[in-house]
Amino acid sequence: MAVEVKMPQLGLTMEEGTVSKWVKGEGDTVKVGDILVEITTDKLTSEVASEAEGTLIKIVAKEGEDVPVKGILAYIGQAGEAIGGATAAPVAAPAAKKAGKTTVAVIGGGPGGYVTAIRAAQLGGEVTLIEKNKLGGTCLNVGCIPTKVLLHSAEALAEVKEMAQLGINVEVKGIDWSKVQAKKSAVTNQLVSGVSGLMKANKIKVIEGVASFASKDTLAVTKKDGSKENLTFDKIIIAAGSVPAVPPIPGVKENANCVDSTGALSFETIPKSLLVIGGGVIGIELATAYSRFGTEVTVVEAMTKLLPMMDGELTAQLRKMMEARGIKIMTDAKVQSVEAAGAATKVNVEVGGKVEAFLAEKVLVAVGRRTDTEALNLDAVGIANDRGRISVNDKMETNVANVYAIGDCLGKVMLAHVASAQGEVAAENALGEAAVYNGATNPSCVYTDPEFAGVGLTEEKAKEMGISFKVGKFPLMANGKALIMNGGVGMIKFIIGEEYKEVLGVHILGPRATDLIGECALAIGLEATVEDIIATIHAHPTVTEAVREAALAAEKRAIHIPNK
């Protein structure tokens, strides 16, 4: 029986859509996931993918035609099946599905890899996960989680010191660094243990070892015990992750006081001084933590501003806050060389046309990360890559059939939650589902003090793209809960499309910004307008009600600040 292709509801307020372009024509063979037609709403243009396999035997809605939600767009059926007088040409029958379970290999057990493995197992795959270090990858072991433990400890210390303002007198006797480190290890170990339990619960085989491609469907695995084995799979998903990049700065590799983010998480003692090379997320987060612990911190960033991908206005505000707390920040500054200076390290920095020397007990090299794909033997089997950065489409497919790749090894957005989302997409496609990765709702989070988060377009990006937009801003000084929590420091900023009033981007600097951004990501995913945000009642007193106030400000309807 023919399957109806219906007009989807692409947003909460959508009642109808316009057929702007048919990608497939009558008589075309379609597979699950193939794009059939482009639909235009009053906000955006979206693609409608096929949910069935067969032949497009009848197009009902012509290009330019308005169709209500759930209205019939077309029919998909079998060769020779007639709908409304239309008969499709016969097509070859699909190949029979291979008997037995689909075998799936996942290379890498980080937040991308282990999520991929679990999703593939849920879909009935026989899954083997190959991890060369520890389950949980960089994120759980030497990245996101241990960093947040240090940041939480530093935040707690700062709050204790400010308790007197709330009428609570507390004496800080010092910092037991060994206990801070013990807490970090305990949290990490508990989460890694949890991942191990999930592997067992989902009947996923875990191999400790290094994998490389012996052929397009076979992996040569060198196990930790030195033994080697060739394993063949129906599907292979690469989640190899990344490692810290080491810049070609003279003296860095030779100096024991120069560490990457992994080393900075495990200092034996709190350093008296720390120079951070790199003003990205990793550098700024660790600079924030150690500054709170009493370390004299200097940040050197080669670009014109910190956190280049974040909203410029809020980044400038964050910089002022950091500098007010004693962190020295230099932008448009380049480290020329590093050299020993007794027990300390001298860092020579070119800034303002002159070279200045800075002494620091420790130097954190945080200039970014690079893909960890060297051992995979990609070129030998023809997997397309750019110097180790693997190329994929929006289904996470490489150019080699049945081989997928996700996460940091793509060399694009190196975030744990992106890797996890891409992993689910890859697993679903590998196991016969139809899934597409869309990064529009991907939030960026920086765990500074206050927190900084953003999703969608920044003001700078919207200008670069030539998009007409308006801005709504609400200072958290006018929000009661923020005033209680951190003195009202920070701001919420909306980027709204000028014509259709759709939410293009939201950026938050303030308490719990990394939690608040979830609502804003959902708004972008649902193609919500500023009116949708305004129409949603937000609880009081909360920081999240400031999200609605910023939306109101975009319409010059703000209640708790004057409208300009």
Contact indicator for 469, 487 with CB cutoff of 8 Å:
no
CB 508 within 8 A of CB 492: yes
| pLDDT for position 181 | 97
pLDDT digits (tens, 9 = 90+) for 421-430: 999 999 999 9
| DSSP label at residue 163 | G
Is residue 46 within 8 A of residue 24, CB to CB? The reply is: no
pLDDT score at 562 = 96
Question: Residue 42: what pLDDT?
Answer: 53
- Judgement on whether residues 124 and 68 belong to the same structural domain of the protein: no
What is the predicted pLDDT for the residue at 79? 67
Over the chain, what is the mean pLDDT? 93
Tokens of 74: 């077309």
Q: Could you tell me which of 313, 106, 101, 332 has the C-alpha nearest to residue 204?
A: 106
Last residue of a domain, one of 345, 367, 389: 367
Q: Which of 285, 323, 322 is nearest to 143 (CA)?
A: 285
DSSP state of 2: P
Is position 237 within any domain?
Answer: yes
Last residue in a domain, options 387, 416, 439: 439
326 and 268 together in one domain: yes
Which of 338, 367, 396 corresponds to the end of one domain?
A: 367
CATH of the domain at 28: 2.40.50.100
Domain of 161, CATH number, reads: 3.50.50.60
DSSP string for residues in 57-117 = EEE-SPTT-EEETT-EEEEEE-TT-EETTEEPPP-PPPPPPPSSPPEEEEE--STTHHHHH
334-340, long-range: CB < 8 A, 24+ apart:
334/300, 334/302, 335/247, 335/249, 335/277, 335/300, 336/249, 336/250, 337/249, 337/250, 337/251, 338/249, 338/250, 338/251, 338/252, 338/255, 338/258, 338/363, 339/251, 339/255, 340/255, 340/257
Q: Is the peptide bond before 450 cis (omega within 30 degrees of 0)?
A: yes
Who contacts 193 (Cβ-Cβ below 8 Å, separation ≥6)? none
Residue 513, exposed/middle/buried by CB under 10 A (0-12, 13-18, 19+)?
buried
What are the pLDDT digits (tens) for 485-510? 999 999 999 999 999 999 999 999 99
Shared-domain flag, residues 521 and 499 = yes
Query: 156 is in which domain, residue-wise?
Result: 103-244+370-439
- Token duo for residue 39: 């639909």
pLDDT tens-digit series, residues 38-93? 887 754 667 888 888 889 888 999 887 888 988 899 889 886 676 654 444 343 33
**Mean per-residue pLDDT for 354-378?**
97
**119 and 262 co-located in one domain:** no
Residue 98 maps to a domain: no
Among the ranges 2-16, 60-74, 195-209, which has the highest mean pLDDT value?
Answer: 195-209
Higher per-residue confidence, 24 vs 428: 428
Whether residue 395 is contained in a domain is answered as yes
**What tokens appear for 65 in the block?**
């035609």
Residue 484 lies inside a defined structural domain of this protein:
yes
Radius of gyration of the chain (CA): 27
**Residue 547: CATH number of its domain:** 3.30.390.30
Average pLDDT over residues 145-153: 97
pTM: 0.82
Q: Which two tokens stand for residue 471?
A: 């801005």
**128 with 233, same domain?**
yes
The per-residue pLDDT for 204 is: 97
**Using the 8-state DSSP alphabet, how is residue 411 labeled?**
S
Contacts of 223 (CB under 8 A, 6+ apart): 207, 208, 209, 229
Residue 94 has pLDDT above 60, yes or no: no
Taking residues 373-402, report their average pLDDT.
97
Q: What is the dihedral of CA 78, 81, 86, 91, to 10 degrees?
A: 40
- Whether residue 358 is found in the same domain as residue 383: no
Residues with a known catalytic role:
540
Q: Do the domain assignments include residue 513?
A: yes
In a domain, 77, yes or no: yes
Chain segment 276-305, per-residue pLDDT in tens: 999 999 999 999 999 999 999 999 999 999
**Does residue 524 belong to any structural domain of this protein?**
yes
Same-domain check for residues 35 and 115: no
Cα separation of 493 and 474, whole Å? 7
Mean pLDDT of 318-329: 98
Greatest Cα-to-Cα distance within the chain, rounded to the nearest angstrom: 89
The pair of structure tokens assigned to 254 is: 């030779």
Both 431 and 327 in one domain: the answer is no
Q: In Å, how far from its chain's centre is CA 266?
A: 25
> 262 and 167 in one domain?
no
357 and 374 in a single domain? The answer is no
Asked whether 456 and 514 are in contact (CB, 8 A), the reply is no
Same domain, 217 and 114: yes
Q: Which of 80-84, 220-224, 454-458, 545-549 has the lowest mean pLDDT?
A: 80-84
Q: How many domains does the chain have?
A: 4
Asked if residues 328 and 358 have their Cβ atoms less than 8 Å apart, the reply is no
Strands 469-475 and 491-497: antiparallel
* pLDDT-derived band at 27, boundaries 50, 70, 90: confident
Amino acid at 512: R
Residue 564 inside a domain? The answer is: no
Residue spans of beta strands (DSSP E) within 142-217? 205-215
The confidence score (pLDDT) of residue 44 equals: 60
Does 218 share its domain with 121? yes
Phi-psi region of 543 (alpha: psi -120 to 50; beta: other; left: phi over 0): alpha
